[in-house]
Structure 1
Amino acid sequence: MAMTPEERRKAIIDRVVVAGTVQLDALAEQLGVSRMTIHRDLDLLESRGLLRKQRGAATAESSLLFESNFHYRQQIETEEKRALARAAGGLILPGSVVMIDDSTTALALAEDIDPGEPVTIITNSAAAFDRLRGRPNLQLILTGGVYNDTLQGFYGLVCEQALGKLRADHAFVSASSVVGTALFHQDQEVVRAKRAMMASAKCRTLLLTPSKFGTLALNHMADLAEFDRILIAKPLDEGTVAALRQAGISFELV
């Protein structure tokens, strides 16, 4: 039985998320449709922000303007994110108010929080909300705002205003790209939400996986010096470590 168009597009997304990049001809052959049909499917999926169309291929990998699909990002650097979660979780004391951003790096922290600790979590991440809801000792605040299914988060004026009216002991955020001592992200609405968290927290902690040092993104988000604590997952190449230390940036490798 032939797939419906939506079933076929879901199959395309599944293949791209697993492989990272898939050739157009391979998709046409695997799904039993013409190249033109695949072209039209990719155009639609790209317009929804679910993948990026390249010459003769589709990719889930990020670019200057395109943030990778959330489900794709969830599958990469998983051990590094767990290491960051363990280190960051040790900073959260009982009774703390904590802000967690929409990143898959911070999502690992949400999954690692001790279910027995009385903590208040504020987040714009739908994925973090799903992981945390129902825990008896946890007070959970979801910012609201305009929902972005590709990023699994809430953004825009409602989100930023909600964050601006709250205060937290900690904000845990990540970024798409590190260039020198500056952080960047592809989406300016995501940048504004992260900046709002940073402005509302007493202590700002940055969580970075090694791949962030080899990626470029369009919008300046912050400078490393704006953070009280920077946690970077191993392994980080010696040249990057030396450059950060030479710039006077204090950080911890975990």
Structure 2
Amino acid sequence: MTMAPSKQDDARLKGEARRQKILSMVQAQKSVSLTQLTTELNVSRMTIHRDLDVLESRGLLRKQRGGVTAESSLLFESNFHYRRQTDEGAKRELARAAVALIEPGNVIMLDESTTTLMMCNYLEAIENVTVISNSLAVCDRLRDVANVHLVITGGDYNDTHQSFSGLVCENVIGQLRSDWAFLSAASVIGECLFHQDQDILRVKRAFMQASERTALLLTAGKFRTRALNQFAELSEFDHILISKTLDETIASQLHQTALSFKLI
């Protein structure tokens, strides 16, 4: 029997929704006053202060006298809590399409992205699947799923990405083999994939090298952002899944490169 959410759960959901609204306002305006936040959200200044304390602890913004400002864009956009709350619908559709590629008994690798994390919601339907990941969120989601054999790489923990990386992580991956690696990227520029964190991109490369086949999941927003370090080219992937909201001009440019991709 499905239990109805408690009042505490309902309040927590409302709190997260309110904080997402705050993030959206700060991201759009870069600086927002406390008065504007209390008026827009129709809550007390005390409630706003509590929300801002939570968001500041996640590295998403900075409180200042009378208001709040966004942290640097790279930190803001790379933060796990922020990424998990963006483009949820598009990520869900990409995840469903990606899971359809998996067969019973497959070994798969999932990177630290919140897009591939969404695949965990649909793995219970696949018998005897092994999941290898460097993501703490993947561990939290799958640790009690009976049909999943879960392998976590370990390594140096990064709370911004909620994932493991470093030499230990890369060495573990290098000793394993999988049928599939499912990855995403922070940014797509032309035909190249980028990520702002060098440690994370080395883990992505290790996953690609340890897998028979590779699949790339991209929301349309990845084509509008910028990151520092190139880690792969689109042509290196066997399957490329992109959300259907991709700009028509960009889609046309990709078609001209003879790349095979699917809009989801």
For Structure 1 versus Structure 2, the TM-score category normalised by the shorter chain is 0.7 to 0.9
Change over 3 Å in CA distance of 1:94–1:217 after alignment to 2: same
Whether 2:60 is the aligned partner of 1:51: answer: yes
Per the TM alignment, residue 15 of structure 1 is displaced from its structure 2 partner at its CA by 6.6
Where does residue 19 of structure 1 map in the other structure?
Answer: 22
Q: Distance in 1 between matches of 2:241 and 2:140?
A: 25
TM-score (norm 1): 0.82
Which secondary structure state, in structure 2, belongs to the residue aligned with residue 98 of structure 1? strand
Where does residue 222 of structure 2 map in the other structure?
Answer: 212
Q: Which contiguous aligned blocks of 4+ residues in structure 1 show a shift greater than 6 angstroms?
A: none
Q: Which amino acid aligns with 1:186?
A: Q
The correspondence of residues 235-246 of structure 1 with structure 2, limited to 5 A, is 235-246=245-256
- Where structure 2 has 5 or more consecutive residues not aligned to the other structure, the ranges are 1-15, 39-44
Which secondary structure state, in structure 1, belongs to the residue aligned with residue 89 of structure 2? helix
Change over 3 Å in CA distance of 1:18–1:136 after alignment to 2: same
- Structure ranking higher on relative contact order (CA contacts 8 Å, 6+ apart): 1
The worse-fitting range, judged by mean Cα deviation, of 22-31 and 161-170 is 22-31
Whether 2:155 is the aligned partner of 1:145: answer: yes
Q: Distance in 1 between matches of 2:256 and 2:202?
A: 29
Where does residue 179 of structure 1 map in the other structure?
Answer: 189
Percent identity, aligned pairs only?
48
Per the TM alignment, residue 17 of structure 1 is displaced from its structure 2 partner at its CA by 4.5
Per the TM alignment, residue 51 of structure 1 is displaced from its structure 2 partner at its CA by 2.1
The correspondence of residues 88-107 of structure 1 with structure 2, limited to 5 A, is 88-107=98-117
Change over 3 Å in CA distance of 1:234–1:123 after alignment to 2: same
- Where structure 1 has 5 or more consecutive residues not aligned to the other structure, the ranges are 1-12
Per the TM alignment, residue 24 of structure 1 is displaced from its structure 2 partner at its CA by 5.7
Change over 3 Å in CA distance of 1:209–1:32 after alignment to 2: closer
Which secondary structure state, in structure 1, belongs to the residue aligned with residue 127 of structure 2? coil
Alignment RMSD:
2.9
- Count of matched residue positions in the alignment of Structure 1 and Structure 2: 234
Per the TM alignment, residue 120 of structure 1 is displaced from its structure 2 partner at its CA by 0.4
Whether 2:179 is the aligned partner of 1:169: answer: yes
Q: Which amino acid aligns with 1:191?
A: L
Where does residue 239 of structure 2 map in the other structure?
Answer: 229
Q: Which amino acid aligns with 1:50?
A: G
Does the 8 A contact of 1:65 with 1:218 survive in 2? no
Where does residue 3 of structure 1 map in the other structure?
Answer: none
Does the 8 A contact of 2:179 with 2:212 survive in 1? yes
Where does residue 127 of structure 1 map in the other structure?
Answer: 137
Q: Distance in 2 between matches of 1:33 and 1:120?
A: 43
Which secondary structure state, in structure 1, belongs to the residue aligned with residue 215 of structure 2? strand
